[in-house]
Structure 1
Amino acid sequence: MGLFDTLDDRLGDQLEGVLCAHHDRRLTKLGWGEVLGDGATGWFSPRVPVRHGNRIRLLLDGSEALPVIAKAIEGARSHVHIASWHASPDFKLSREPGEPTFSELLTTVADRVPVRLLLWAGPPVPMFEPTRKRVLGNQKAFTENSAVQCVLDSRERSMHCHHEKIVVIDDEVAFVGGIDFTALEGDRHDSHEHPAERPIGWHDHSSKIEGPAVADVAEHFRSRWTEVAGQKLPKPVVPAPVGTSSIQVTRTVPERNYDFAPRGEFSILDAYMRALRSSEHLVYLENQFLWSPEITEILIDKLKNPPNDDYRVVLVLPRKPSNGSDTTRGQLGRLIDADGGNGRLVASTIETHDGENTTQVYVHAKLGIVDDRWLTVGSANLNEHSLFNDTEVNVVTDDPVVARDTRLRLWSEHLQRPVGEIDGSPAEVVDRVWRAAMEGEGRLTELPGVSRRAGRLQGPLRGLLVDG
């Protein structure tokens, strides 16, 4: 190890300690200190309601999710409420011939029922997309000659954004996930096959929720809309039970952004921390980023002190995060060190082939599964932005049928094998099938460039610079 690498490594450790201490002080001051401080376990955060009697279905990849969302919007009988990081008027939710644009779809529905669209206003200075100029132009396109109401929210923390992606139809069905209604920075229309002739693939998810938990998603939209638009909406009625799943709607809401949460909410962080601490056999994470030292410290401890011989941590991450930095690599290198060659950790990315072309598949997903009995999906990445500073919405369920079914569907997609061939012990499948797939000609490949010294300094330094 060279002198520069040694300094980078040591400074990274020191800055990470400063960053974690800052988060601890901040959350303690806000009344959320136990999230980081007491080693709490369990499958739900005690800070927000758990709703019983729901039905939840994971919609994997854009080609599965977007048409379902479009059909639900088309069938609205009372109202359509959408909150998103960004949305493009010319985006289409289906590749079928003759499909309307997003703007046309919303305009048609708005002739019958109120359609409210809440978007991030963009950064105050045009440092990154979507710029405020672009967002203002899109707002005009959504509302011109249309009854659609489109309101822009600029109440973000400095250097952060409104990142959630939710749709609520009639307060009876909700969609919560990571898919934006735009082709900006990537084409959301990808399928389980991830065809290789495309410039880049796109792996992402949403969830369809029915039952009492819909009221919590609807209430979140109502709270933001009321403050930003100045328009009071009726409090949502809690739907009747329709299924057997318990669901918790978790959020990141930074303090001092809204009157409805003056001290903020950090239940996404709380839920992740509790579930990872509770893990006994398997942690499966698909995420765009793995920067958060709070998250990786738990995984490091688990890898060093595995609760069972069959304990495995399986990560699916993009080859390179969207800003091109190597902060994920620094944290991943620490996890590799903690594993110590014991084979409990697998870190993969996705690419697809067709004989002539090889295309990278960008992992934009934000999904976690623990022990086939806990699942979360939503808009939150595993970084300081999503867990502390952006507005985010996730859903959590402890339904083992949903968790296991979703994992098997995803592993079937990635391993290109029928579910019947991979439905055995997760550890055995990881050791026998997953590792072999990374060495072959399939979709999975080992995440390249992993080293504890690769950009070790960048993650905590970025966190300190943008997290006040």
Structure 2
Amino acid sequence: MATPPLLQPGRNCWRIVDADRLALIMEADAYFKAVKEAILEARHSVYLIGWDFDTRIKFEPEGQTLEGPNRLGPFLRWLDKNRPTVNVYVLKWDLGVIQALGRGTTPLAVLDWMTSRRIHFKLDGAHPMAAAHHQKIVVVDDVVAFCGGIDMTADRWDTRAHRDKDPRRRRPSGRRYGPWHDASTVVDGAVARALGALARERWTWACGEELEPPRDCPAIWPASVTPTFNRIPVAVARTIPEYKDRAEVREIERLYLDAIAGARHVIYCESQYFASRRIAEAMAQRLRDPDGPEIVVINPESADGFLEAVTMDTARYRLLKLVNDADAHKRFRIYTPVTAGGAPIYVHAKIMVVDDRLLRVGSSNFNNRSMGFDTECDLAVEAPAGEAAGREVRAAILGVRHDLLAEHLGARVAEVAEAVAARGGSVIQAIEALRGPGRSLVPYAPDKPARIEEALAENDLLDPERPPSWGRKVLRTLSLQRALGRR
């Protein structure tokens, strides 16, 4: 009897549409370059939809190889002069501009964009107060699109090597920042058109203007990117908070819960947080099953920013207790990646791999905000059951998981695959066999939170599931959100 599909439009995704190609892009060095390659081929329109943008970032800090200026702001102005048929639409979370006031030249560059007839900059405030527009989407001509967890802003660029003290890892101010792990996707075909429609819908919500879709534009694919999948259906899943006459959408949460419930052998996750009680409870339920799956979570050592650390790390402490109490069969592990010199690598990627069946990549985290309060977008692919084509997709999904583990463990992909196979498919046993000094995965051991941290974590101001219901709470949330670090 065939297993019913996990992905179901109207339940845990918005649409399932075909992609001619889909590639997983690891780290912002590859992402920034691929985005610029795609934009250089634009004929009609470019949509940049995101939580934050910094016009001073370099596409290629290691040395420019592509046409046009190497920084985002000058490149968009160059595009305005050299691509007269192309309109660029930049949609940024409205609270991001408050943070931008401390970002040197960014506000001046924004004002410069606004003088152009073809570069359109808007702040997105079409969400509940203190909610965030957290999608990270780029669409070029509706023929190629990027969707994932990477923001085109400062402190994001890194390579898969995650070198200690990499001199190219610098803020626009010149100050260094630490190693950063992130992920996105690039797709073409019908799914790129769907993401274009989503971007235009978001633009209309934000500013009331309806944009015309491009027509008959030639195919585009970034030259530096090798597809992970070819000719594959792709699901688009969203989180949209209730706002005015707009209904709430919780497809992403439903997809997480359905994927956890449907897993047979291994759930592998990378997330910035571990703070969603519903996800933790779903994992705990599977860990109680005698024949349930292994669950491996890759997290940063600590959340980024004081208030986020207080809230998210304290929530993680509590939820890990819930999960560990349920783990009678010892099938749960949570790790933090470290560099060759032992420095923690910040995990910003949002990835889930379920068995050899499902791959999900997007902007949503394991926290309450991503389930119903912020605006999110994820993509997912599922291997078809019982088909010859399914074997190729399943092999590619497993290849993604092995590739990610190889990066974290400082190992070869083949070495990871062999270690898993030699241990009967146990990813946990393979990780433990390959862990060692230097570049590796380190078991996460939470510190017990202080009383003030417990008190703050009890309050849902920083990580609500739904919009607060009364004004004073909203204002307090807003003030705290402004103080938060990067998301």
- Give the TM-score normalised by structure 2: 0.78
**Pairwise CA distance, 1:196:** 0.9
C-alpha distance in structure 1 between counterparts of 2:450 and 2:248, whole Å: 35
1:305-347, CA deviations, whole angstroms, 9 ceiling, x for partnerless residues?
A: 1435xx210110010012212222221222122113x331111
**Pairwise CA distance, 1:281:** 0.6
Contact 1:380 1:386 in 2 (8 A): yes
1:178-215, CA deviations, whole angstroms, 9 ceiling, x for partnerless residues?
A: 111111xxx21111110011541100001011111112
- The secondary structure found in structure 2 opposite 1:50 is strand
1:12-39, CA deviations, whole angstroms, 9 ceiling, x for partnerless residues?
A: xxxxxxxxxxxxxxxxxxxxxxxxxxxx
Query: What is residue 319 of structure 2 aligned with on the other side?
Result: 331
Structure-2 change in CA distance of 1:88 and 1:123 (3 Å):
closer
Query: What is residue 14 of structure 1 aligned with on the other side?
Result: none
1:354-384, CA deviations, whole angstroms, 9 ceiling, x for partnerless residues?
A: 4xxx422100111111112101111111111
**Pairwise CA distance, 1:428:** 4.3
Query: Where do residues 18-57 of structure 1 align in structure 2 (5 Å cutoff)?
Result: 42-47=5-10, 48-57=14-23
Query: What is residue 239 of structure 2 aligned with on the other side?
Result: 252
C-alpha distance in structure 2 between counterparts of 1:397 and 1:77, whole Å: 29
**Pairwise CA distance, 1:226:** 2.1
Contact 1:215 1:237 in 2 (8 A): no
Query: Where do residues 144-183 of structure 1 align in structure 2 (5 Å cutoff)?
Result: 144=115, 147-183=118-154
Query: What is residue 393 of structure 1 aligned with on the other side?
Result: 377
- 1:447 aligns to 2:444 (yes or no): yes
Query: Where do residues 25-424 of structure 1 align in structure 2 (5 Å cutoff)?
Result: 42-47=5-10, 48-98=14-64, 100-111=70-81, 112=83, 113-122=86-95, 129=99, 137=108, 139-144=110-115, 147-183=118-154, 187-198=155-166, 199-235=177-213, 243-256=230-243, 262-308=246-292, 311-322=293-304, 323-325=308-310, 326=313, 327-340=315-328, 342-354=329-341, 358-399=342-383, 400-423=394-417, 424=420
Contact 2:127 2:243 in 1 (8 A): no
Q: Please list every run of 5 or more consecutive structure 2 residues that lacks an aligned counterpart in the other structure.
A: 167-176, 220-228, 384-393, 469-487
- The secondary structure found in structure 2 opposite 1:160 is coil
Contact 2:333 2:428 in 1 (8 A): no
Query: What is residue 390 of structure 2 aligned with on the other side?
Result: none
- Give the TM-score normalised by structure 1: 0.81
Q: Which deviates the most, 194-203 or 431-440?
A: 431-440
**Pairwise CA distance, 1:109:** 2.0
Contact 2:45 2:214 in 1 (8 A): no
C-alpha distance in structure 2 between counterparts of 1:169 and 1:136, whole Å: 25
1:255-279, CA deviations, whole angstroms, 9 ceiling, x for partnerless residues?
A: 125x5xx112111112111111111
**Pairwise CA distance, 1:247:** 0.5
Amino-acid identity (%)? 27
1:128-164, CA deviations, whole angstroms, 9 ceiling, x for partnerless residues?
A: x456998755522443567411111112212221111
The letter of the residue matching 2:276 is S
Contact 2:19 2:187 in 1 (8 A): no
**Pairwise CA distance, 1:408:** 1.6
Contact 1:312 1:427 in 2 (8 A): no
Contact 1:366 1:380 in 2 (8 A): yes
C-alpha distance in structure 1 between counterparts of 2:299 and 2:276, whole Å: 14
Structure-2 change in CA distance of 1:413 and 1:235 (3 Å):
same
C-alpha distance in structure 2 between counterparts of 1:433 and 1:452, whole Å: 32
- The secondary structure found in structure 1 opposite 2:352 is strand
- The secondary structure found in structure 1 opposite 2:402 is helix
- The secondary structure found in structure 2 opposite 1:462 is coil
The letter of the residue matching 1:419 is V
C-alpha distance in structure 1 between counterparts of 2:101 and 2:278, whole Å: 31
Structure-2 change in CA distance of 1:117 and 1:123 (3 Å):
closer
Q: Please list every run of 5 or more consecutive structure 1 residues that lacks an aligned counterpart in the other structure.
A: 1-40
**Pairwise CA distance, 1:52:** 3.0
**Pairwise CA distance, 1:97:** 3.0
- The secondary structure found in structure 1 opposite 2:59 is coil
C-alpha distance in structure 2 between counterparts of 1:201 and 1:150, whole Å: 31
**Pairwise CA distance, 1:427:** 6.0
- The secondary structure found in structure 2 opposite 1:80 is strand
Query: What is residue 459 of structure 2 aligned with on the other side?
Result: 461
1:25-58, CA deviations, whole angstroms, 9 ceiling, x for partnerless residues?
A: xxxxxxxxxxxxxxxx852143122113542110
The letter of the residue matching 1:328 is R
C-alpha distance in structure 1 between counterparts of 2:332 and 2:253, whole Å: 22
C-alpha distance in structure 1 between counterparts of 2:50 and 2:462, whole Å: 26
Structure-2 change in CA distance of 1:431 and 1:294 (3 Å):
closer
